[in-house]
Amino acid sequence: MQATTHTYNPAPLLDMLRSTLNAPNDAVLARMLGLSPAAISKIRNQHVPVSSAVLLQVHEITGISIRELRNLIGDTSTNLWESQRAWIRPAGRTVGSLATR
């Protein structure tokens, strides 16, 4: 039996949110989530991960569970720290937060 592997991809989450919230594009979605359009672009293009703060904001707006949101982006780890290890650079520096970019 072969194990199923999951790959991080935030596009399904963003696409589902655009559909659910009737946002015609990512710029409108960003405003609905209280983010900048650049932040959504960086998430969609996998330059920064979907942060726990963004997941909480999406949960509060949509009522979708954090677990389901994490599943949509391919995060099947048991805790958030494990899911963000992939975003830690070898020198020990993490990818910058959305607030500082």
The position carrying tokens 């399904």 is 12
Residue 1, token pair as written in the block: 């039996």
Q: In this structure, which topology does domain 11-77 adopt according to CATH?
A: 434 Repressor (Amino-terminal Domain) (1.10.260)
| Residue 31 backbone class (left: φ over 0; alpha: ψ -120 to 50; beta: rest) | alpha
Residue 72 CA to residue 5 CA, distance in Å, equals 14
pTM to 2 decimals? 0.71
Domain limits of the chain? 11-77
The position carrying tokens 């979605």 is 29
Mind listing the pLDDT tens digit for each residue in 8-43? 999 999 999 999 999 999 999 999 999 999 999 999
